[in-house]
Each structure stands twice: as C-alpha cells, then as structure tokens.
Amino acid sequence: MTFIRINLRNTLFFLIASSFIYLAFLIWTAKDRIPEFEVQLRDVLSYVVLAAEMGGHAIVRTFAENRKLRVVEKSQMDVGRPELLTKADLISNHLMLSLLRRFPLLKVISEEKSEFLSEKDVEQYRADNYELWLGLREALSKFPSWRIPLARITVWIDPLDATQEFTEGLTQYVTVMACVAIDGKPIFGAIHSPFLNETVFGMVDHGLFDSNGLPISVPSDREDKLQKTILISRSHAGTVSDLIKRAFVNDSTSYVIEPAGGAGYKTLRLIRQSADLYIHTMAIKKWDLCAGDALIRSAGGVLLALDNGLPIDYSAKTAAATKTSDQIEVHKNGFLMTLRSPFSFYQRFKKVCLFFSDGYLLAEFRLNLARARLASKAEALLVRLVRQSPTFCLPKKSWSPLFGLKHRKSPKILPTLPSSPSNMLHQNARERGMTFGRE
C-alpha cells in the first residue's frame, strides 16, 4: 500500500498564492474597483501658486548672487535657437517639485527633467512660506472647491520661462508658470513675475486675481483703437512676421509687430490690454502654454491651435502606446491667443496659410536646411576636385556661392576631362543623371 506524504509548507504556500491570485481577479473584474485617491481641488491650487512664487523668489536670489550666469545648451527644438539651461532653472524646478510632492500621486510635468541638485544645494533658497501659504488659501477661498480624483489632474510647470532673455539680463520677460488641467482642459493658471514680485492667477469662469486676493479687471476693448499690437516670439519667430503682413495687408487698422520674450510675459501683456494678439507658428512646449491658456480663458479670451482652430489638449496619457513623450509635451502646429475676436483672427490666418494643417512651414524650413547642407557639401567636393585636377572646369554659369545637386531627365554633356580619380567621380555623377550647378 502506497502512502502520499503531504508537504504542509508547500501546501500552505500554494493556498496563500492562490488566494492572492483570486483576490486580484475579483478586484480586476469588479465593476467598482478600489476607490481612487481624492483631494480637495483648492488644496492643489494653493500649492500650485505657492510653488510658482517659491521658484520665483529663488530665481531673484540666484540672479543677485551671481550676475554672470553659468549657461549650458539643454536641447534644440525643430527650428530656432537651442534651449538654454541655468542654475536658476534647476533650483526653481527642484523647489517647485519638492513642494508639489506633498501629493504623492499627483502627475506633474516640468520643463526640467534631470535632478542635478540635492536638498542641501537648494536649502538656502527655501524661504519660510507658511504665512504666504495662509494668504493664498484666503485668496483662493473665492474659488469653488470639490473633491476630485487625483488621477484626473495634471500639473504643468515652467520653473523659468524666458531663459534666453534671463541670460541676457532682460529680467522683465522672466516668469514662473504653473497650470492645473483636469481631463486635459486647463482650468487654473498662475504666472509669477519674480523681478516685479507680482502674481496673477485665475480660474476659468471665475476671473483673475492677484496674490492679495484682489480681483483683476480686464479693460474692455476700445473699438476706436487706431493701432493694434501683435506679439511674436523674440527668439523663435520663424516666418510669422511675413504671415502677419499678408494676413492684414488690406486691413484699415494699422498693426505693430512687437517681438517679446517669454510666453508668460506675452500672456500678461494681453491681460493688461497693452497688446491685442499673440501668435506663434513654430513648435512650442505645452508647459509654456498651459498657464497662459487658463488665464486667458479666465479673462474671457481664448487660445486656438492654428492647424484646426481647436483648443489644445493638456492630457498626460503617458501609458498610451500611440503617444511618445514628445507628442504629449510638444505642440507643433502654432497657436494664436487673444481676448477679442479670436475666430476672426483665425480665419485671416487660415486664408493666408491653408498649409498649416500639413505642417508646411516646418517642412519648408527643413527642406531649405537640407538643400543648404547639400549645397555646402557639393561646394566642398568641387573645391577638392579643382585642387586635385588643375584641368577640371565647369561652365561659367554654374559658378555661384552655393552649388546645388539637381536631377534632370536629360543630363547635360560636360566637356571631356582628362582621366583622373576626380574625373571618374564626376563621370559617375553624370551617368546617374545628376550635375553640379544651377540651371
């Protein structure tokens, strides 16, 4: 007779593992899963404004301590100048993120991704902001609040907007921005001007306020205004000036195009009615837009994408397989922002540039850049050929500052050249239907 000996230890382990698997199955298939973590919206808003002001105070102190800023190139957008990075960017970013970590599950998207600083490095820049927080709580009490699942909230922060101008000492353009988006829609924004010690924050459908809780009234537009101001980027303007001139060529009202630094600064100019339109046609990061989008909506205006005339989505769907980080963080098709007649402005630009939806401007820039690089390589090749073979020659009309490579159905017959390695290379190019020079 055979006896089966049961291993109690293995049996117990099997039962425990089976229980956990069954419990996970029940949770996954249940209609009502584990309740989501909820917060009071007003608590998040107060910390967002506090984070912007804390970052701004650190920027001012950093600038005062070391006027000769250490600057590095961080990255480069599709077009325009490289993006810069300073110590002030990192300190402001560290302080803002550390404050917003009071909500552990809060999704925060910041311009600065790398953490090069420790708590010890930034401690001297951390002020006692308890009284400031109490004041903000009082100011924000005018806004409604409700409990909301934290998973629906995304916070976008720009710890130092207008870094290019900051490195040049043009501190009037510098701002710190923070925005709260719910389900991808911007509902609250804060822009702090550190060198002016001014803060503007607002909630959609509830108006604008300063840091003392006083409402900010937006002046009504004067219909008899003889001249309007259009703001464009100071460092990433692209061809927007030409587009504006074409869009308003037959308009009875005169327009002044003013380059200015920082998306936050330009948003505040619109709110103060010292400018009428802010337009941008190049790629831009969403942390440069979200706070301004929320504030301009709070003031009764709108921000529209130039490719389709729709609002911009600020969702943070990082788990979506079809979206990369760049697709989430970058808006590539330009936008316009204004308090008055947004769709009228949009229609003007759409008539002039119907190619916005196809990314025509960006494609044109890249094509011209590729042509310039190719022409430069062709010119260098010709110089080498001439140096290697003194008898090498080209028709006179082909000489120009930049030589291009062109495909032709009927290749041009060039003069017979003496046999040499360089001539063989040139002969090979002709056999492929290509030639040097412009037609």
pLDDT digits (tens, 9 = 90+) for 202-219: 999 999 999 888 899 887
Say whether pLDDT at 172 is over 80.
Answer: yes
**Which residues are documented as binding site for Mg(2+)?**
111, 158, 160-161, 288
Where are the strands (E) in 348-388, listed by range? Answer: none
283 within 8 A of 191, measured Cβ to Cβ: no
Which H helix or E strand runs over 82? strand 82-86
In this structure, whether the domain defined by 227-362 belongs to CATH 3.40.190.80 is answered with yes
Query: Percentage of residues in the chain with pLDDT exceeding 90?
Result: 40
Q: What's the pTM value of the predicted model, to 2 decimals?
A: 0.71
Average of per-residue pLDDT values in the chain: 77
Q: Which of 57-66, 98-107, 386-395 shows the lowest mean pLDDT across its residues?
A: 386-395
Say whether pLDDT at 52 is over 90.
Answer: yes
Per-residue pLDDT at 397: 41
Question: What pLDDT band is residue 239 in, cutting at 50, 70 and 90?
Answer: confident
365 within 8 A of 332, measured Cβ to Cβ: no
Question: What pLDDT band is residue 65 in, cutting at 50, 70 and 90?
Answer: confident
Residues 6+ apart with CB under 8 A from 131: none
Say whether pLDDT at 363 is over 80.
Answer: no
Per-residue pLDDT at 385: 58
Per-residue pLDDT at 318: 44
In this structure, whether the domain defined by 38-216 belongs to CATH 3.40.640.10 is answered with no
Contacts 24+ apart (CB under 8 A), 431-436: 433/407, 433/408, 433/409, 434/405, 434/406, 434/407, 434/408, 435/405, 435/406, 435/408, 435/411, 436/378, 436/382, 436/394, 436/398, 436/403, 436/404, 436/405
Per-residue pLDDT at 343: 87
Question: What pLDDT band is residue 36 in, cutting at 50, 70 and 90?
Answer: confident
Say whether pLDDT at 359 is over 80.
Answer: no
Per-residue pLDDT at 72: 57
Say whether pLDDT at 432 is over 60.
Answer: no
Per-residue pLDDT at 331: 92
Measured CA to CA, the distance from residue 76 to residue 84 in angstroms comes to 9
229 within 8 A of 275, measured Cβ to Cβ: yes
**Which residues are documented as binding site?**
111, 158, 160-161, 288
Phi/psi at 369 (nearest 5 deg)? -65, -45
Per-residue pLDDT at 155: 98
In Å, what is the CA distance from 181 to each residue of 108, 178, 286, 290, 314? Answer: 10, 10, 11, 8, 7
Say whether pLDDT at 276 is over 90.
Answer: yes
Per-residue pLDDT at 425: 41
Write down the domain spans for the chain.
Answer: 38-216, 227-362, 369-436
Per-residue pLDDT at 68: 56
Question: What pLDDT band is residue 25 in, cutting at 50, 70 and 90?
Answer: confident
